[in-house]
Chains A and B, each alone.
Chain A
Amino acid sequence: MINFSGISKVYDNGCIALSDITVDIPKGDFVFVVGPSGAGKSTFIKLIFREELPTAGKLIVNGRNVGELKPVEVPYLRRNLGIVFQDYRLLPNKTVYENVAFAMQVIEVSDREMKKRVSQVLDLVGLRHKAKCCPLELSGGEQQRIAIARAIVNNPVVVIADEPTGNLDPDTSWEIMKIFSRINKGGTTILMVTHDKTVVDAMKKRVIAIENGKIVRDEVKGVYGYEN
C-alpha cells in the first residue's frame, strides 16, 4: 500500500528531515509512528499525502509514484487518503453534517449518495444525533470524531493521523482509538503518529520508531519505547 524505498528529505535550508528510509506498509496494517519531537515523523507522513516531495528515493502510495505526480494529479492521490490532524481542522461556520459532507462535495458525489454515506459515518463515530450542531458546540473528543468521519467518508484506502489524541484526555483518547480500530477492521490501513505511550503499549500494533531522520525500530507488536 505504502512503500518507501531509499527516501531522503532535505529541506531547502539544508535541514535533513529523513535519510534513506526504506519501509513497506501493506494494506490493512495498523502502524504507530513514534519518536522524539523533531525526529522526522511529520515529514514522514507529509510525504505520503504529498505535502512535501522527497529529495531522493522512490515512494509508492496506492500504486502511484508520489515523487513523479504532476500537480494536477495530487488531488486524486488525496481522495484515496483520509487525513486527521491533532487540531481537528473543522470549519466552525458549518454544521457537523456539512463538515463531513464537504469532503464529498469537493469530489462531486451525488446528493443522494452523500446523504446516505454521511449518515453512515456519523453512525460509525456515534454522533449522528449531533448532525445539526456546529463544531464549537462539541467537546474536543466529539470534534475529533467528526474529523475522523470526514476523513473516512470517501472510503480511503489509508487513514493518516497526526497525533489525533494529542489534545484529548485518556478516556476520550480510548474512544478515538476504538473508532480507529473499527475502521482498521474494515480493511483500511491506519498510519498514526503519536506520543501517547499508554495507547501504543496497550494496542500491541506495529510500531515504527524514527530518530534523527532514520528508522531505528520496526516491530510487529511493538511498544512505545520512550519515557513520557
Chain B
Amino acid sequence: MKIRTFEYFIKEAVGSLRRNPIMSLASISTVALSLLILGIFLIMVLNLNNMASNLESQVQISVYLQDGLSDVETREIGTRITKLSGVNSVMFVGKEEALSRFKQRLGEQQSILKALDDSNPLPNAFEVKMDKPEGVKPVAQAIAQLKGVENAKFGQEIVEQLFALTKMVRIFGVVLIGFLALAALFIISNTIRLTVFARRKEIGIMKYVGATDWFIRWPFLLEGIILGFGGALVAVLLLGELYGALIQQVYESLAFLPLIPQYPFITTIGIVLLVIGTGIGALGSNISLRKFMQV
C-alpha cells in the first residue's frame, strides 16, 4: 500500500467521523465506559491477588492468648512453641505494645481510638516466625491446641478469604464486561453501518472502476479502529487519574494496605485496554462491512 493511499484512507475515515459527530461520540463513550469498568475490575482483581500472594509468602503466625494468664503460664506457652519443629523465633507482644503498634498503623485516624475510652481490647500475643511457608499451617494448628491459647492466625486464612472474594469479583466482572463489550460492538458496528449506507453510491462506483475489496474496506475499518482506540484512550486516562488518586488516599490513611504501585502497573493495564478497544473497533466495523457491503 502506498503512503498516499494510506493518507487517503485516513482522510476518508476522519471525514466520515466528522460527518456523524453524535454517533461517533456515542461510540467513543460506550467503549470508554466499557473499558473503564473492565479496567476497574482488572485493578481490583490484580490487587486482591497481589495481597493474597503477599500474605501467602508470610511465614508468621500470630498467637493470641486468653486474658488473665499468669506470667509463668505465658512463658510456658512461649517455650512450648519454640520447641515445635520449623519454628525460627518466638517474640512476645504485650497488650500495651500491640496497642501502640495499632496507633502507629492508624496514622491520622486516631479518632477511632476514642471510641475505646482508654481501655485496651487487644490481647497478649506471640509472633512466631517460621523457616518456610509450608510448615505454617500444621504448626499453627498445633499451637491452637495449647492450653491458654485463644487462637493462632496465619496468612493462609485471609488468603483463602481473599481468593473467594477475588473469584466473586471475577465472575461478576466477566458477566458485566461481556455485556458492555457487546454494547460497544453493537454501537460501533451501527455507526459504521450508517457510514456505509451514506456512502453506498460511492462504494458502488469504486467497485465499477476496479477498486479491490480491501481498498473499499480500509477507510471503514480505520473509522472503527479510531472509535475503539479513542474510547480506550479516554478510559485509560481516566483510570490512570483514578488509580493515582486512590493510591494517594491509601498512602495517607490506610498505609498498611499493600496496593500495587501505580507505575508500571497502570501502563500495562493501559496497553491491554488500548489493544482491546482497538480490537473491538476493528471487529465492530468488520461485522458491518460483511453484513451491509458484501465486500
User: Which A residues lie at the B interface, using CB under 8 A?
Assistant: 49, 71-72, 75-79, 81, 83, 89, 91, 102-103, 105-108, 110-111, 150, 154
Contact = CB atoms under 8 A, between A and B. Distances in A.
B70 interface: no
Contact of B8 (A49, A81, A105): A105
Interface string B182-218: 0000000000000000000110111111111101000
Given A49-B208, A89-B205, A111-B4, A106 B215 contact: yes
A106 B211 contact: yes
A62 to B, nearest CB: 12
A182 to B, nearest CB: 21
Return the 9 tightest CB-CB contacts between A and B, nearest first. A79-B210, A106-B211, A78-B210, A103-B209, A75-B210, A75-B212, A83-B208, A108-B5, A108-B2
B2 to A, nearest CB: 5
Contacts of B215: 106
B209 A154 contact: yes
A12 B49 CA distance: 60
B201 A107 contact: no
A105 B2 CA distance: 11
A72 B212 contact: yes
Contacts of A91: 201-202, 205
Nearest to B5: A108
Nearest to A153: B209
Interface of B: 1-2, 4-5, 8, 201-202, 204-213, 215
Residue of B2, B208, B215 with most chain A CB atoms under a 10 A cut-off: B208
B201 A106 contact: no
Given A89-B201, A89-B204, A102-B205, A76 B5 contact: no
A83 B204 CA distance: 12
Given A108-B2, A108-B5, A102 B201 contact: no
Contacts of B210: 75-79, 81, 103, 106-107, 154
A150 B209 CA distance: 9
A106 B4 contact: no
Contacts of B213: 71-72, 75
Contacts of A102: 205-206, 209
Contacts of A75: 207, 210-213
B10 to A, nearest CB: 14
A18 B138 CA distance: 89
Given A75-B207, A106-B209, 15 more contacts: A72-B212, A72-B213, A76-B210, A77-B210, A78-B210, A91-B201, A102-B205, A103-B210, A106-B210, A106-B211, A106-B215, A107-B211, A108-B2, A108-B5, A110-B4
Interface centre among B4, B207, B209 (most CB of A within 10 A): B209
A83 B211 CA distance: 14
11 contacts: A75-B211, A76-B210, A77-B210, A79-B209, A89-B204, A91-B205, A105-B5, A106-B211, A108-B2, A110-B4, A154-B210
B47 to A, nearest CB: 49
From A78, A91, A106, residue with most partner B Cβ within 10 Å: A106
A180 B204 CA distance: 23
A77 B201 CA distance: 20
Contacts of B209: 78-79, 83, 102-103, 106-107, 150, 154
